[in-house]
């Protein structure tokens, strides 16, 4: 690759050579897309610019900057950590090592939630918001909703707030704390969504790919990955209006377990839905009615 620096090099040639090089060093599904993202980041250009002007020549400094990113990518550092950005829904989000990198499959939860018949000014809670991905995507589509986002990590909360600002999404509330105890006072929601940690601590996938660079606290949960899903499901009913929805992301093989958890906690209309890869990826349910909503939050989170 260094040979490229001794001659004039265009985007197209550099992306092909970079992708071949990356393929040799790293088991990535999409070397060419990775390289395109790194080149666009180096040149501060969009991917459409890149596609339109593939014969654009790079300066030696630009080629050098790209090569140093490529070297780090070869060691496995996620593209999103190298560029500091990740697209989610229609938004561009800042990402860093304090949270999960938003996954395309999580957009399936957003799509499902937008298909529900919720009130015009619905109150919505995103637990474990990380970059703010789900909360911000919902707020961008439903500006009249009151969206509340919470995370245990204060770095994640700061990141999510920055992402709200950079996408001009105002009016969300952000809180730091563990699950429902992050809320400054008890209140009810029409919908609670969460993409909590759900990977079994002994899962071998934790040693592969991008997850090696993400915080374990955002990935791993005890009890075969179900502990946090369970603790959210146990309390969610108390924070939902009658017939309010809970929408939980989970592992590809956890659908049956999460359905059982929700049913055991009194939810009805319990159903799992698939992600883009046809794996069961999230399960939903509605809170049973009949409670006195005035005092049910006593004892809180």
Least distance to ligand GLN, CB of residue 250, Å: 8
Residues 6+ apart with CB under 8 A from 61: none
Cβ proximity to ligand GLN, 186 vs 201, nearer residue: 201
**Residue 233 near ligand GLN by CB under 6 A:** no
Is residue 135 involved in binding ligand GLN (CB under 6 A)? Answer: no
From 30-38, 77-85, 168-176, 193-201, give the range in contact with ligand GLN by CB under 6 A.
193-201
Nearer to ligand GLN, 53 or 273 (CB): 273
Q: Which of residues 23, 25, 71, 103 is near ligand GLN by CB under 6 A?
A: 103
Q: Does position 198 bind ligand GLN by CB under 6 A?
A: yes
Dihedral sign of CA atoms 191, 172, 235, 89 in order: positive
Per CB under 6 A, 22 contacts ligand GLN: no
Nearer to ligand GLN, 201 or 266 (CB): 201
The nearer residue to ligand GLN, 54 or 215, going by C-beta atoms, is 215
φ, ψ (nearest 5 deg) of residue 141:
-90, -25
Show the tokens assigned to 148.
Answer: 């509340």
Binding flag, residue 95, ligand GLN (CB under 6 A): no
Residue 197 interacts with ligand GLN (CB under 6 A): yes or no: yes
Q: Does 100 bind ligand GLN (CB under 6 A)?
A: yes
Stretch that binds ligand GLN, among 52-60, 171-179, 190-198, 237-245 (CB under 6 A): 190-198
| Nearby residues of 118 by Cβ (< 8 Å), 6 or more positions away | 124, 145, 190, 191, 245
175-180's contacts with Cβ under 8 Å and 24+ in sequence apart are: 175/148, 175/149, 175/150, 176/150, 176/151, 176/152, 177/150, 177/152, 178/152, 178/301, 179/127, 179/128, 179/150, 179/152, 179/228, 179/231, 179/232, 179/235, 179/301, 180/127, 180/235, 180/239, 180/300, 180/301
Instruction: Using CB under 6 A, list all residues that contact ligand GLN.
Output: 100, 103, 195-199, 211, 219
């Amino acid at each position: 690759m260094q040979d490229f620096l001794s001659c004039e090099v265009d985007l197209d040639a550099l992306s092909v050579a970079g992708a071949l090089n990356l393929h040799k060093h790293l088991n990535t599904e999409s070397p060419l897309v990775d390289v395109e993202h790194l080149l666009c980041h180096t040149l501060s250009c969009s991917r459409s610019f890149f596609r339109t002007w593939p014969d654009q020549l790079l300066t030696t400094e630009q080629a050098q900057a790209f090569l140093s990113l490529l070297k780090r990518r070869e060691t496995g550092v996620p593209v999103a950590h190298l560029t500091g950005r990740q697209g989610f829904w229609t938004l561009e989000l800042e990402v860093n090592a304090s949270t999960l990198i938003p996954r395309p499959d999580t957009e399936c939860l957003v799509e499902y939630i937008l298909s529900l018949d919720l009130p015009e000014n619905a109150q919505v809670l995103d637990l474990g918001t990380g970059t703010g991905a789900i909360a911000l995507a919902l707020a961008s589509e439903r500006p009249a909703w009151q969206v509340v986002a919470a995370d245990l990590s204060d770095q994640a909360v700061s990141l999510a707030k920055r992402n709200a600002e950079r996408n001009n999404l105002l009016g969300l509330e952000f809180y730091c704390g563990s699950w429902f105890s992050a809320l400054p006072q008890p209140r009810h929601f029409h919908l609670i969504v969460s993409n909590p940690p759900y990977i079994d601590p002994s899962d071998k996938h934790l040693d592969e790919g991008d997850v090696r660079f993400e915080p374990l606290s955002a990935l791993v949960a005890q009890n075969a990955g179900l502990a946090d899903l369970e603790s959210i499901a146990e309390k969610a009913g108390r924070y939902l209006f009658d017939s309010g929805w809970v929408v939980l992301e989970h592992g590809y093989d956890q659908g049956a377990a999460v359905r059982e958890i929700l049913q055991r906690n009194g939810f009805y209309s319990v159903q799992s839905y698939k992600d883009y890869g046809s794996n069961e990826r999230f399960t939903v349910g509605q809170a049973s009615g009949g409670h006195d909503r005035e005092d049910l939050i006593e004892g809180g989170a």
